[in-house]
Amino acid sequence: MSAPASLVVVPPIRLGVNIDHVATVRNARGGALPDPVRAAMLAAAAGADGITAHLREDRRHVRDDDMRRLRETLTIPLNFEMAATHEMVAIAIELRPHACCLVPERREERTTEGGLDVIGGGIDLAHRVEQLATSGIRVSLFVAPDTDQIVRAADIGAAVVELHTGSWCDLRVAGRQDEAVAELERLTGAAEQATTLGLEVHAGHGLDYVTAEIMAANAHVRELNIGHFLVGEAIFEGLETAIRRMRAAMARGRAQLRAGKAA
Ligand X SMILES: CC(=O)[C@@H](O)[C@H](O)COP(=O)(O)O
Nearest CA to 209 out of 241, 174, 161 is that of: 241
Pattern 235-254, binding to ligand X, x per CB under 6 A? Answer: --------------------
Of 29 and 110, the one with the shorter C-beta distance to ligand X is: 110
How many Å apart are CA 200 and CA 221, to the nearest integer?
8
H helix intervals, the chain: 20-29, 36-46, 64-73, 86-95, 118-133, 147-155, 166-173, 177-196, 209-216, 228-237, 239-258
Q: Which of 254, 242, 174 is nearest to 208 (CA)?
A: 242
In the chain, what's the furthest Cα-to-Cα distance?
60
81 noted as active-site residue = yes
| Tally of CB atoms within 10 A around 130 | 13
Beta carbon nearer to ligand X, 183 or 256:
183
Under the binding rule (CB under 6 A), the answer on residue 15 touching ligand LD2JLWAY is no
Residue list 131-170, contact with ligand X (CB under 6 A): 142
80 binds ligand X (CB under 6 A): no
Residue 223 in contact with ligand X, rule: CB under 6 A = no
- 184 phi and psi, to 5 degrees? -65, -35
DSSP-derived 3-state class of residue 78: strand
Residue 260 marked ligand-binding: no
Q: Was 228 annotated as part of a binding site?
A: yes
- If binding is defined by CB under 6 A, does position 128 make contact with ligand LD2JLWAY? no
**Per-residue string for binding with ligand X, 4-33, x by CB under 6 A?**
--------------x-x-------------
Mark whether 164 is an active-site residue.
Answer: no
Asked whether residue 206 is marked as a ligand-binding residue, the answer is yes
Using CB under 6 A, count the residues that bind ligand X.
Answer: 12
Residue 34: cis peptide before it, omega within 30 degrees of 0? yes
Question: Which residues contact residue 121 at a Cβ distance below 8 angstroms, ignoring those fewer than 6 apart?
Answer: 84
Task: Decide: is 52 part of the binding site for ligand LD2JLWAY (CB under 6 A).
Answer: yes
Residues making up the annotated binding site for 3-amino-2-oxopropyl phosphate are 18, 29, 206, 227-228
Which residues lie near ligand LD2JLWAY (CB under 6 A)? 18, 52, 162, 204-207, 225-229
Binding-site residue ranges: 18, 20-21, 29, 56, 61, 111, 206, 227-228
Which parts of this chain interact with ligand X (CB under 6 A)?
18, 20, 54, 56, 81, 103, 111-112, 142, 204-205, 225
